[in-house]
Amino acid sequence: MKRITPDLAGYESFLVDWIDETGSVVAINDFEARELGIAIHEKVGLERIYSSSSAQALRAIASGEQDADPVFPVWVNSQNYSEIPMVATIVRDGVRGLAVVKQPLPAEVLGIGPELVERVEILSQMIGAATEACWCIEFLEPVDTSLSEEEIVERVFTNESRWRACNEAMARLYRVPEGLDFNMQPVSRYFPNTEVNRQMVRDLVRANYRLDHAAAVDRRHDGSEMLVENDFRAAIQNGLLVRLWGTTRDIGPSRIREQQLSDRADSMLDILSATPDPILVISEEGIVLAANPAAETAWGRTGEQILGRPIQVFVETRHATEKLRQAAFDGEDQECDLGIVSADDSRSTWRFRSARMEGEIRRYVLTARRKARRRARPAAEEVA
């Protein structure tokens, strides 16, 4: 990409770029480069400078498909992801092609209400400053939504598309090197055509193009995979899908944490299942929430006969729940003896330790050990 000062007298303070007959940008002047934040050697496409509708109009003018008015409106992309309305003039500049000379003008000149311009600026600033990754995929080849589901999925990944107005949080999420414009990168580099992502698009089509919490496997700039969650919305015009937009979150760390917690829970269940002593978990009200197999074996009651029932149902000691809560309050070394009624109506005394579980909802872990019966003294000792 060249940065040149045009030989067109009087245009040094205007934004100027040159495009060839194919609509490709071949040069820009220093003033435009500074205003739009374009690096000296950066190769840019037409959509880097203009909105999609303005870029399409300029391509049609460059190819001769459309005549250019002496003065016509265009939208130019600023550095902070907003679009600035400008007035443009086409000047034929010999071997360098068409020079597009632009200058910002008040919205009234372009026939745009100030309220609408302000609203666009506010939304652009909100998206640019958002901490959540915001993105938009624009289809330069719109997708016909009347096609079969599989054909729509195929074209979402194969039709020509580009990123549009992705914010800085999006670039950080995908670890795009500083100074590289995310919006100029290929869509397929970060959103690859994989079976997981194809299934997500199928779900999107079935949900009438409005889908939340959709899992996908994207790629960072360095090619490493990343598990993400997307919220999708779509713009459909005359039956054609022209844009997809939404937000993206990296859920890889949370999934790893969930798996770790699941593995830990499985390990704890294995340990509890192998523990010979009965273990119960009760609520603040004394409802049994969990029980290990040893509890079922010790008292001859099935899980259905224990879970969801008040512990007092099979404890003959009065105020059992209060005693257990008090034992937990008094500390680890405090215990209380409770009389248990087994399924065969036999009675036995068990010594319980109670510990309160951490969390907003009060729950208690009970560990029980059968209390040995006191042996009767020999008759000779009683006579003595």
Whole-number percent of the chain with pLDDT over 90: 24
| Number of Cβ atoms within 10 Å of the Cβ of 311 | 22
**C-alpha–C-alpha distance, residues 325 and 286, integer Å:** 9
Across all residues in the chain, what is the average pLDDT? Answer: 82
Least confident stretch, 78-82, 131-135, 143-147, 239-243: 78-82
Least confident stretch, 23-27, 95-99, 100-104: 95-99
> What pLDDT score does 85 carry?
82
Q: Are strands 15-19 and 25-28 parallel, antiparallel or unpaired?
A: antiparallel
pLDDT digits over 321-362, tens only?
999 999 888 876 678 999 999 989 999 999 999 988 877 778
- Residue among 251, 210, 208 at smallest CA distance from 229: 251
> What pLDDT score does 232 carry?
87
Written in H, E and C, the secondary structure of 252-306 is: HHHHHHHHHHHHHHHHHHHHHHHCCCCEEEEECCCEEEEECHHHHHHHCCCHHHH
Write out the E strands in 145-199: 161-163
**357 contacts: CB under 8 Å, gap ≥ 6:** 281, 363, 364, 365
Q: Which residues pair with 370 in a beta bridge?
A: 350
| Strand ranges of the sheet holding 15-19, from the earlier edge strand across to the other edge | 2-3, 25-28, 15-19, 98-104, 83-92, 72-77
DSSP string for 56-116 = HHHHHHHHTSSPPPSSEEEEEE-TTS-EEEEEEEEEE-GGG-EEEEEEE--TTTTT--HHH
**C-alpha–C-alpha distance, residues 339 and 347, integer Å:** 7
Tell me whether residue 189 is exposed, middle or buried, using C-beta atoms within 10 angstroms of its C-beta: 0 to 12, 13 to 18, 19 or more: middle
Cα 294–Cα 309–Cα 298 angle in degrees, nearest 5: 20
Least confident stretch, 147-161, 219-233, 247-261: 247-261
> What pLDDT score does 82 carry?
64
- Residue among 221, 231, 247 at smallest CA distance from 132: 247
pLDDT average, residue stretch 183-202? 90
Which residue has 């999420």 as its token pair?
Answer: 173
pLDDT of 124 over the 90 cut: no
- Residue among 216, 223, 280 at smallest CA distance from 250: 216
**C-alpha–C-alpha distance, residues 140 and 190, integer Å:** 18
pLDDT band at 146, cuts 50/70/90?
very high
| Number of Cβ atoms within 10 Å of the Cβ of 27 | 19
pLDDT of 368 over the 60 cut: yes
Whole-number percent of the chain with pLDDT over 70: 79
- Angle of helix 195-206 relative to helix 149-158, nearest 10 degrees, comes to 120
Q: Which residues pair with 98 in a beta bridge?
A: 19, 92
Question: Among the ranges 31-40, 117-126, 253-262, which has the highest mean pLDDT value?
Answer: 31-40
pLDDT of 384 over the 50 cut: no
pLDDT of 149 over the 90 cut: yes
